Each structure stands twice: as structure tokens, then as C-alpha cells.
Amino acid sequence: MTNIPKRIVQISDIHLFADKDNELLGVNTYQSFHALLDLLKSATTQPDIILLTGDLSQDHSQKAYEYVVEAFNAFAIPTYYVPGNHDDIPFMQSTLPSATIFNTKHILLDPFQLILLDSQKTKAVEGYLARTQLDFLEDCLKKHPEHHAILAFHHQPVSVGATWLDKIGLQNADELWAILAQYPNSHTILFGHVHQEFQTKKNGINCFSTPSTCVQFKRNSVDFALEKLPPAYRWIDLYSDGTLKTGVCRAAHYVGVFEIEAKGY
């Protein structure tokens, strides 16, 4: 019997502009994104699924989503997405569903299930899971008790140890944790937003973040600060016996000029 895992690749916080020449804090986000895609293309193991965890656009432009479609249609791998605080949901919904990018929010990957939630709070940087999202989550957990649940959304539901970022995480994380405590199939949470690699375990549930494809926020920093680390993606391997392995792959080089004095974005 083979035990070849299903591989999810999580890509987050792309922050594309309509103008491909624009930079975010010294980084051309289009070039940095493509440096990461080149890394993914060259990987020995290709993913079965690509998961985009928000902040695909920096300037709320439709063009940004068109670049995302171009990039992932070329991969021809089923791709799913959730919005971040920077995303324009109407543009996202009208542009992204395409040949290989799907708006599906519940995916069965025996013996796992992937549940995608929208944590965007209107006109806010911090996140919030609306009642409809929590109900959807609970429904999936209830209907598929034998499937280990992997949740994905943009905002972090745990402290990542960086004071300024912890203030802008998921504001009603307590409600989420209260629901998850009732369902033993709650397994893993994947998120973006924090632009850094982070992992912890809370109430027996794995929590993993994925670095950005552009600028990285400095770990354990009290105030906003950048860290000179190249763009990265996270891979998550799901085994048929219910085990999960994960890690982060980084491009070889920082793309752009590192703005050590940057005070915000």
C-alpha cells in the first residue's frame, strides 16, 4: 500500500499593484511573487492544491487579481482562496474564478477536510469571523466528523509574539476556539497576515502561518519592523493515516531593496 501524501501549497500576502512597477517598502511585489512562483515550479514535488490566504492585492485593483489568474492558470493546479484585509471582495469574486481557480470553500481530501473562511472586517486591518462564517464552519465540522478539519483564513487566531501584530489579529478568536473545542476533528489552522513563519499548538490544534511573497515582518517585534528574508511558501503534506507534515520553502534571495527604517505600510 502506498502512502503518498496530498500536498497543499499555501501562498499568502502577495500585495500586487495594478502597475507592475510599483513597490511596497522597496520590494517590487510582482517580481517577488514571480520569484516565488519560479521556486515552486522548480520543486521536485508539485502540489495537488494551491491555497491563497489573502492580501492578493495591495491597491484594491482588479488588475491585481488578473495577474493572479494569469499566474495560477499557468500552473494548472486547483487553486482556492480567501480574502485578506487588503482585498476587494467584489473584484476578487468577479475575477478569480477561472479555469483553475475555484471559489469552493469546503474541500474533502480524505481523511482531511479543508474549510476556507472569510475573516475580513469591513474597512479594518484587524479580522473578524462573522456569524455566517462560524455557522458554516460548525456545519462542516458536524457533517464530516471523520474528516480532520484544516481551517484556512487570513487573520491570526493566536498571539504570534509581536505586539503590534497581535493587536490586529482575529478579534473574535475566543468564539472560534469555543466552537473548535466541541469538535474533536478540529485539527489545524492555516493563516497569513503576519508576513512571517510561525507555528504553535493551542488546545491540541496546530496553528501555522505562511510568510509573505513580498516583505516580511520582523519576528517578536514590539513595533512595526521588517526582516530581511526572501519570499516563501508553506507546503503541507496530508497522509492517508491522518498525519500532517509541513515546512516553509524560501527563494534564494531577497527581491528589491531592504528598507530597514520602514515604519509602516
- Could you list the residues that contact Fe ion (CB under 5 A)? 13, 55
Least Cβ distance, residue 146 to Fe ion (angstroms):
35
Least Cβ distance, residue 21 to Fe ion (angstroms):
20
Please give the grid coordinates belonging to residue 47.
502540489
Least Cβ distance, residue 259 to Fe ion (angstroms):
16
Q: How many CA atoms lie within 13 A of 70 on its CB side?
A: 10
Q: Which is nearer to Fe ion, 29 or 113 (CB)?
A: 29
> Where are the alpha helices (H) located in the chain, listed in sequence order?
29-41, 62-75, 89-95, 131-143, 163-166, 173-180
Least Cβ distance, residue 113 to Fe ion (angstroms):
26
Q: Which is nearer to Fe ion, 116 or 141 (CB)?
A: 116
What is the C-alpha to C-alpha distance for residues 73 and 208, in angstroms, rounded to an integer? 26
Q: Which is nearer to Fe ion, 88 or 140 (CB)?
A: 88
Q: Which is nearer to Fe ion, 55 or 88 (CB)?
A: 55
Q: Which is nearer to Fe ion, 55 or 149 (CB)?
A: 55
Are the CB atoms for 67 and 30 separated by under 8 Å? yes
Least Cβ distance, residue 133 to Fe ion (angstroms):
19
What is the C-alpha to C-alpha distance for residues 210 and 171, in angstroms, rounded to an integer? 20
Q: Which residues contact 164 (CB under 8 A, 6 or more apart)?
A: 221, 222, 223, 224
Least Cβ distance, residue 41 to Fe ion (angstroms):
23
What is the C-alpha to C-alpha distance for residues 226 and 209, in angstroms, rounded to an integer? 17
Are the CB atoms for 215 and 225 separated by under 8 Å? no
Q: Which is nearer to Fe ion, 8 or 11 (CB)?
A: 11
